[in-house]
Amino acid sequence: MISLKKNDKIIIIVAIVILVIAGAGVAMYQSPEPRDDFLPSNVDQNSYNVTWIVRNGSADTISEYANKKAPYEGKMQIHEGNVKSITFNMTWTDDRMTMLKRMGLDTLTLEVTTPDGMTYTQSNTSARITGAGTISLTVYAGVIPPNDSIEAEDQDDAQTKLMISPYYDDSWTDKDIFINVSVKIGEIRLLKKIRDKGNGFDLEITYQYYEGMINLDTTKNTGGETPPPDDYWSEEEEITEPPFISMIISTGCGRFV
């Protein structure tokens, strides 16, 4: 049996203690987690430019009669989104002019109430000689779609985002627009005034709306993951093994002679 010196015993005990501590350190060691501020983002995202085109549309012409006692009351709707403006062109011919067509001129009034609760009114009197009358009234929805680019996975995804806010405004879409046409009889003679019941009219309605067109922005880096910067790992995080193992190797402890 080999007899150990006192110093050898101390070295062996110290080595055993270090090995025990090192083993515990290995068991408890965990690799550092990546920093959240440099995690990859915008995976497979492309940028699409948006171009707005003003389109024209029209509604059915309203041909009705405005009675002096009961004005015409109707309503209409526009089925397009991003409505820019609506124009109402009303025409009529006074049907009961007298005295060489210079007296008894009727006055018609067009009143339009938009979905936002605003009311617009315009009046005009039939022309002398011809008896013709016209009113042109344009109301504006106040829509100004944004020119900001759309970030999307593909063109279908970008097209879907183009149909929601803030790129799509449906505040006037499929909403009631109320129309009121009244007439004021111009005839002053009692008998003629009684016979004049009102006047017929034609109301043509046209409108403008914005249609969005998208195209891929090829001037920007699109798609793929964003790589982490060079300093993604700090110096402390570059440790590949527990410090206890290095200490054992450097001191030579744990080796038996």
pLDDT at position 232, please? 44
For the chain, list the domains and their CATH numbers: 46-216 (2.60.120.380)
Please check the confidence at residue 192 and state whether its pLDDT lies above 70: no
Report, as an integer, the average pLDDT of 153-157: 94
Q: Give the percent of the chain with pLDDT over 70.
A: 65
pLDDT at position 69, please? 87
Tokens of 244: 């206890």
- Give the pLDDT band (50/70/90) at residue 248: very low
Cα separation, 16 vs 18, in Å, equals 5
pLDDT at position 82, please? 97
The backbone torsions φ and ψ at residue 153, rounded to the nearest 5 degrees and listed phi first, read: -70, -40
pLDDT at position 220, please? 74
> Hey, CA dihedral for 98, 99, 100, 104, is it positive or negative?
negative
Cα separation, 44 vs 221, in Å, equals 11
How many other C-beta atoms are found inside a 10 Å radius of the C-beta of residue 94? Answer: 25
Q: Using one digit for the tens of pLDDT, what is the confidence trace for 106-142?
A: 899 999 999 999 999 999 999 988 889 999 999 999 9
Cα separation, 182 vs 70, in Å, equals 8
- pTM confidence score: 0.67
pLDDT at position 177, please? 98
Q: Using one digit for the tens of pLDDT, what is the confidence trace for 32-81?
A: 565 555 445 555 789 999 999 999 999 999 999 999 888 999 999 999 99
Exposure string of 197-219, with b = 16+ CB inside 10 Å and e = fewer, is ebbebebbbebbbbebebeeeee
Q: Give the percent of the chain with pLDDT over 90.
A: 53
Please check the confidence at residue 92 and state whether its pLDDT lies above 60: yes
Q: Using one digit for the tens of pLDDT, what is the confidence trace for 202-236?
A: 999 999 999 999 999 988 755 545 555 555 444 44
Cα separation, 91 vs 133, in Å, equals 6
